[in-house]
Amino acid sequence: MNLAKRIYTWVDVRIGAGALVEKELTGYLLPTNINVWYSMGSILLFIFAMQVVTGMLLLIYYVPDADKAFKSVTFIMNEVPFGWLIRMCHAVGSNMMVLILLFHMLSVLFMGSYKSPREMNWLSGFILLNLVMGISLTGYLLPWSQLSFWATTVATNSVGAVPVVGPYLVEFLRGGKLVGPPTLGRFFALHVAVIPITIAALVGAHIFFLQRTGVSTPPFGLQETTNRWLGDRYRYESHPGGIPFFPHYALQDLTSIAVYCALFLGVVFFDPYIFFPATAFVPADPFQTPAHIKPEWYFLPNYQTLKLFPSEFLGIAVQGAAMTFLALLPFIDRGQEKHPLKRPLFLACAIGGIVLYIALMIWGHYS
Amino acid sequence: MNRTSPKVGNVPPPLRFALVLCFMLAFPLPGGAQETVCLQCHSAQTGPGSKAVKPWQASIHAENGISCHDCHGGDPKDAANAMSPARGFLGVPKETDVPAFCGRCHVGIRDDYLQSAHGRALGKGGPTCVTCHGAHDIKKVTLDLINEKSCSRCHPYERAANIKAAMEKTERLIVAIEERLARFKGEGVDTEATDKSLFALRNTYHRLFHEVNTARVTNESAKLQGELGKLDQTLQKIDEQRAKRKIAGAFVVAAALVAALLFHLLRKTCD
**Interface residue of A255, A304, A313 to substitute, partner B, most B CBs within 10 Å:** A255
| B14: chain A residues, CB-CB within 8 Å | 307-308
Residues B63 and B77 in one domain: yes
Q: Does B48 touch chain A if contact means CB atoms closer than 8 Å? A: no
B188 touches chain A (CB under 8 A): yes
Statement: residue B255 has pLDDT above 70: yes
Q: Is there a contact between B185 and A278 if contact means CB atoms under 8 Å apart?
A: yes
Chain B residues with CB under 8 Å of A269 CB are: 245-246, 248-250, 252-253
Q: Is residue B51 part of a domain?
A: yes
Indicate yes or no: CB of B14 within 8 angstroms of CB of A308.
yes
Q: What percent of chain B has pLDDT over 70?
A: 87
| A84 with B188: Cβ contact below 8 A | yes
Q: Count the domains in chain B.
A: 2
Are B99 and B82 found together in one domain?
A: no
Residues 6+ apart with CB under 8 A from A181: A65, A66
Among A28-32, A85-89, B20-24, the range of highest mean pLDDT: A85-89
Interface contact B263, partner A, CB < 8 A = yes
Closest-CA distance of chain B to residue A334, Å? 36
Q: Do residues A336 and A226 lie in contact, with contact meaning Cβ atoms separated by under 8 Å?
A: yes
Which fold is adopted by the domain A35-217+240-366?
Cytochrome Bc1 Complex; Chain C (1.20.810)
Mean pLDDT score across all residues of chain B: 86
The residues facing A30 across adjacent strands are A243
Give the pLDDT score at A346.
95
Give domain status of residue B60, yes or no.
yes
Please tell me the predicted confidence (pLDDT) of residue B178.
96
| B111 is a domain residue | yes
- Does some domain include residue B179? no
- Distance (Å) from the C-alpha of residue A84 to the closest C-alpha of chain B? 9
**CB atoms B260 and A259 under 8 Å:** yes
Residue B81 lies in a domain: yes
In a 3-state reduction of DSSP, which class is residue B120? helix
Residues B29 and B84 reside in one and the same domain: yes
Are the Cβ atoms of B189 and A280 closer than 8 angstroms? Answer: no
Compute how many other C-beta atoms are within 10 angstroms of the C-beta atom of residue A275. 16
Whole-angstrom distance, CA of residue B132 vs CA of residue A226: 86
ipTM summary value:
0.92
Whether omega before A117 lies within 30 degrees of 0, making that bond cis, reads yes
Q: What is the pLDDT of residues A265-295, one digit of tens each?
A: 999 999 999 999 889 999 999 988 888 788 8
Quick check: is B57 in a domain? Answer: yes
Mean pLDDT for all residues in chain A? 94
pLDDT tens-place string over residues B231-249: 999 999 999 999 999 999 9
Looking at B81, B108, B135, the residue that finishes a domain is: B135
pLDDT at residue A231, as a whole number: 75
SS (H, E, C) chain A: CCHHHHHHHHHHHHHCHHHHHHHHHHCCEECCCCCHHHHHHHHHHHHHHHHHHHHHHHHHHCCCCCCCHHHHHHHHHHCCCCHHHHHHHHHHHHHHHHHHHHHHHHHHHHCCCCCCCCHHHHHHHHHHHHHHHHHHHHHHHCCCEHHHHHHHHHHHHHHCCCCCCHHHHHHHHHCCCCCCHHHHHHHHHHHHHHHHHHHHHHHHHHHHHHHHHCCCCCCCCCCCCECCCCCCCCCCCCCCCCEEHHHHHHHHHHHHHHHHHHHHHHHHHHCHHHHCCHHHHCECCCCCCCCCCCCCHHHHHHHHHHHHCCCHHHHHHHHHHHHHHHHCHHHHCCCCECCHHHCHHHHHHHHHHHHHHHHHHHHHHHC
CB burial of A7-40 (b: ≥16 within 10 Å; e: otherwise) equals eeeeeeeeeeeeeeeeeeeeebbbbeebeebbbb
Task: Select the residue of A247, A278, A310 nearest B12 (Cβ to Cβ).
Answer: A310
Residue B221 located in a structural domain? no
pLDDT digits (tens, 9 = 90+) for A311-330: 888 999 999 999 999 999 99
pLDDT of residue B151: 92
Specify if B76 maps to a domain: yes
| Cβ of residue B13 closer than 8 Å to a chain A Cβ | yes
Find the domain containing B30 and state its range: 25-92
Contact A307 B253 (CB under 8 A): no
pLDDT of residue B28: 43
pLDDT category at B1 given cuts 50, 70, 90 is very low
Confidence check: pLDDT of A123 > 50 = yes
- Assign B32 to helix, strand or coil: coil
Across the interface, whether the CB atoms of A258 and B257 are under 8 A apart is answered: yes
Q: Cβ contact (<8 Å) for B267 and A78?
A: no
